[in-house]
Amino acid sequence: MTFANATAIDAAEHPYTARIHDGWDVVGNANGGYLLAIGARAMARAANQPHPVTVSAHYLSPGRPGPVTIDPQIVKAGRRLTTVRATLLGQEKPLIELLGSFSDITRIEGPQRVDASPPDLPPPEECQQVIPDPKVGFPPAMMGRLNLRLHPDDANFLAGKPSGEPLIRGWLKLADDEPMDVFGLLLATDCFPPTIFNANLPVAWTPTVELTAHIRAIPRAGWLRCRFSTRFISGGMLEEDGEVWDESGRLVAQSRQLALTPVA
């Protein structure tokens, strides 16, 4: 099943309905970027705008496969931006709470200055593809829906040898070369292995409290180059900063999440 189908919305009635499909999970819980993509599709539909500009998600409960509902509420429909909030409900519980502003980003213009570059990566075929291992549950099932290839310097945690730096870089495509739209970029901001896997710290997982993604451009066809890094692990939390660049070398999305760091 394609990402487009796996995140499709039925907007015939309010609240909208959708479904958490099998195979987009990490040890049984739906990936946060996947849930965000479902929620944002519903919000964009309600806003009658094609693109999320900035959307924040607070993660409340793990999502399991099955039906969900989303109830987008227009907060303000402005000349350029439409602001929407929504709750994604599953199993009669709120799974994520969302707030975002939507627009047609191709119609917003301004000057250009970029003081950063895409991550320097060896060609995809020289990078380490992450393949799910159904027996162990790690790498997770979701990796079967993606073509994710890690920078060799950042991939040794897969063999139990973390680099020591909370940094993960790599190439990303959807499986079977499915085209990546702006909602796919939301998935991209949260589908890489957590940066903590490369830090030598007694933290086994980092449940996301909140993730904010900015969509800065529509990606060209092809590979995405992604970079996730963490500078601040303190007070029981960490931030993880993401940059997603397209094959033409343009920043297409930027993200930051705040996650808890429970001691393993």
Query: Which residues in this chain contact a copy of itself in the complex, by CB under 8 A?
Result: 53-54, 56, 58, 60-61, 75-76, 78, 80-81, 83, 85, 87, 94, 97-101, 105, 108-116, 166, 199, 201-203, 209-210, 212, 214, 216-217, 230-237, 239, 250-251, 254, 256, 258, 260-263
> Please, which residue, 127 or 233, has the CB nearer to a copy of itself?
233
Q: Is 42 helix (H, G, I), strand (E, B) or coil?
A: helix
> CA–CA separation, 133 vs 140, rounded Å?
7
Q: What would the two tokens of residue 78 be? A: 């402005």
Overall residue count recorded for the chain in this entry: 264
Shortest Cβ distance from residue 232 to a copy of itself (Å)? 6
Minimal distance, residue 182 CB to a copy of itself, in Å: 12
Q: In the chain, what is the straight-line distance between the N-terminal and C-terminal CA atoms, in Å?
A: 35
| Structure token pair of residue 34 | 């996947």
Which CB, 103 or 147, lies closer to a copy of itself?
Answer: 103
| Smaller CB separation from a copy of itself, 105 or 158 | 105
Four-residue CA torsion sign, 16, 21, 25, 29: positive
Smallest distance, a copy of itself to C-beta of residue 17, A:
20
Tokens 């027996």 identify what position? 135
CB of 239 to a copy of itself, least distance (A): 6
Q: Which is nearer to a copy of itself, 175 or 251 (CB)?
A: 251
Beta bridge partners of 226: 170, 244
Which lies closer to a copy of itself via its Cβ, residue 160 or residue 236? 236
| Residue 18: CB atoms within 10 Å | 23
For the record, the structure tokens of 216 come out as 């800065």
Cα dist from 159 to 55, 63, 128, 198, whole Å: 35, 29, 11, 11
Whichever of 2 and 48 has its CB closer to a copy of itself, that residue is 48
Give min distance, CB of 234 to a copy of itself, in A.
Answer: 5
What minimum distance in Å lies between the beta carbon of 260 and a copy of itself? 7
**54 in Cβ contact with 212 (< 8 Å):** yes
